[in-house]
Amino acid sequence: MKVAIASGKGGTGKTTLATNLAIMLSRAGEKVAYLDCDVEEPNGHIFLKPNIEKRETVYLPVPVVDQDKCISCRKCEEICQYNAIACMGKKTLVFQELCHACGGCYLVCPTNAISETDREVGVVEDGHAGPVGFAHGKLKIGEALSPPLVKAVKQRASDGFTVLDAPPGTSCPAVETIMDADLVLLVTEPTPFGLNDLKLAVDMARQVGSLFVVVVNRSDIGDDKTRKYCDQQRIEVLAEIPNDRRVAVCYSTGGLPIDGVPGYADYLLPIVERILGGAR
């Protein structure tokens, strides 16, 4: 079973929830993998402290044009939806940073003038945090295209339970993370910004077709508008976690609140029970 932890905005406690859930599921006797799909800024390792056992470079196939074979027919330019290839007079230029590796340009070239070369987009590191499988991606500095690296991280999914820690927001990396998840937990907070971005995240999950529920973190710091919105939209609020300064103190030292804050694990039990029940 794949469980994605997502949010419309950063700072809602998504990684705190994801790392603690992974450990709780493991302590329940389940086989678990934690995958940090926030490849632009992974931080799950700070709390899980994994032993990294393997490091793999991830490449993206991009086109290279043999100018001697090219007849400037512009078919490659016409098929490219990302403006990654352009014909300028008698020369065809490739902008590798824009290429999504769809392969269309290779297929339509009538003279076989286009071949592939590999472009590095980042690395995936694998290991274990105790019995919990661990993987995260690190996007290459300056690289703008992160979904291919997210896909590579997701290939490390467990044949038991997989906790996918999604990047914040509702752009392509977040969509790629929640794709094919069995359950999506949308983490929010009861503030105007939290509610605004929760609505965006709900729209994303509905467009993808994911089964999703809401977790309200720091549930006692704002108003009841988030709860009213969920009631109006018939969205299940699976858990409400109150604000606790001890959680922030534990977090700031790289600790897990389920171990450092008495009673914190009780707030996560409904989530654990739903996940275990969904797998059965």
Q: Are residues 25 and 141 in the same domain?
A: yes
* Alpha helix ranges (H) inside the chain: 14-27, 44-48, 75-79, 104-108, 147-154, 172-178, 192-208, 225-232, 245-252, 257-260, 264-279
Q: What is the CATH number of the domain that holds 194?
A: 3.40.50.300
Q: Residue 117: inside a domain, yes or no? A: no
DSSP readout, 104-162?
Answer: HHHHH-TT--EEEEEEEEEEEEEEEETTEEEEEEEEPTT----HHHHHHHHTT--SSEE
pLDDT at 90: 87
Q: Are residues 71 and 50 in the same domain?
A: no
pLDDT at 223: 87
User: 242 pLDDT band (50/70/90 cuts)?
Assistant: very high
Mean pLDDT for the stretch of residues 150-173: 95
Mean pLDDT for the stretch of residues 141-170: 94
Identify the three-state secondary structure at position 238.
strand
Whether residue 280 is predicted with pLDDT greater than 60 in this model: the reply is no
Q: What is the CATH number of the domain that holds 86?
A: 3.30.70.20
Domain that holds residue 87: 67-112
pLDDT at 175: 97
Count of structural domains, the chain: 2
Whether residue 279 is predicted with pLDDT greater than 70 in this model: the reply is no
Residue 71 has phi, psi (to 5 degrees) of -110, 10
Q: Are residues 77 and 134 in the same domain?
A: no
Q: For residue range 2-21, list pLDDT tens digits in order.
A: 999 999 888 899 999 999 99
Q: For residue range 89-127, list pLDDT tens digits in order.
A: 889 999 998 999 999 999 999 999 999 999 999 999 999
Identify the three-state secondary structure at position 99.
coil
- The pTM is what? 0.92
pLDDT at 91: 93
Distance CA 74, CA 82 (A): 14
Q: Residue 252: inside a domain, yes or no? A: yes
